[in-house]
Amino acid sequence: MSDTLYSPRRRLCLAKERIEDLKREIAAFWRGNPYVQVIEDDPQRKGYRLYKIKLVKELPASIADIACAIAGHLRSALDQAGYAVALAAAPPGTKPKRTAFPFAGSEGHMNNSLGRCQDLPQEIRALFCTFKPYKGGDDLLWALNTMRNTNEHMVLVPVSTVVQRPSTKIRGTGFFQMTLPEYTVWDRCKQEVTFLTLGPGATFHYDFDFEFFIAFDEIEVVGGQPVLSTLDTLAGKVERILMATEAEARRIGLIK
């Protein structure tokens, strides 16, 4: 018995395999100690010192390439699921053309998007709409379409945050300002982040760690979010959509 959804399931499988590849590539990058801690004079304020984490190695292009491939596989899985079901419902000898998964810019634009999948059975179109694949609905799912449309120019950035240990005791004299994780801003141009500023004559003693991850940059909704966890979550969403599509196709008699 043929598997109607073999092709979209294969795309999902490829995406999961590439996520594992991405994990290994990112882990290898961090193992190479691509960053250093530096202390620099503040060019804006005399006598002030800036404590920074600075990247000294370029992020390998292979990491962005793999992330692009994962997004492409996941997006293709959704479109191929639509085509497979539409083909199963089509009269013998015909090939459906309007079978795309209905991403939309907003809920109000969903009707226009449904025109791109009108060769699907009405039940499957209705099912796809329940996943709210539009901005303001399931924003992360909507972002997958954005990634696919811009994946040739997808930019990823390394990000560092300060993590205080449970037993950390911070001591200092004079003016000092520590940048906590929620305020950490990675300077993409300089490839660095400032986590501490000391004023003239100030002293500061700290005992904390730094966490690093690779994040999306300049992609709406997911910008600044960790690449690995975001893509892993999207893979789970796509898998649930495929399972629901198969169940509905069986219910309406398209799959035996």
Q: What is the pLDDT of residue 166?
A: 45
Q: What is the pLDDT of residue 190?
A: 84
How far is 183 from 19, CA to CA, in rounded Å?
Answer: 29
What are residue 162's DSSP bridge partners?
210
How far is 158 from 70, CA to CA, in rounded Å?
Answer: 19
Q: What is the pLDDT of residue 180?
A: 46
Q: What is the pLDDT of residue 185?
A: 66
Domain residue limits, the chain = 6-251
Q: Which residues of the chain have pLDDT under 50?
A: 1, 164-168, 180-182
- Half-sphere exposure (CA, 13 Å, Cβ side) for 23? 10
What are residue 55's DSSP bridge partners?
35
Q: What is the pLDDT of residue 173?
A: 58
Phi, psi for residue 137 in degrees, rounded to 5 = -105, -100
Instruction: Please tell me whether residue 189 adopts helix, strand or coil conformation.
Output: coil
Identify whether the C-beta of residue 108 lies closer than 8 Å to the C-beta of residue 135. Answer: no
How far is 110 from 146, CA to CA, in rounded Å?
Answer: 16
pTM, whole model, 2 decimals? 0.85
Please enumerate, as own/partner, the contacts of 43-50 that have beta carbons within 8 Å and a separation of 24 or more. 46/200, 47/199, 47/200, 47/201, 48/197, 48/198, 48/199, 48/200, 49/197, 49/198, 50/194, 50/196, 50/197
How far is 6 from 127, CA to CA, in rounded Å?
Answer: 20
Q: What is the pLDDT of residue 129?
A: 96
Q: What is the pLDDT of residue 198?
A: 82
Per-residue pLDDT reduced to its tens digit, 128-169: 999 999 999 999 999 998 887 765 556 787 776 655 444 445
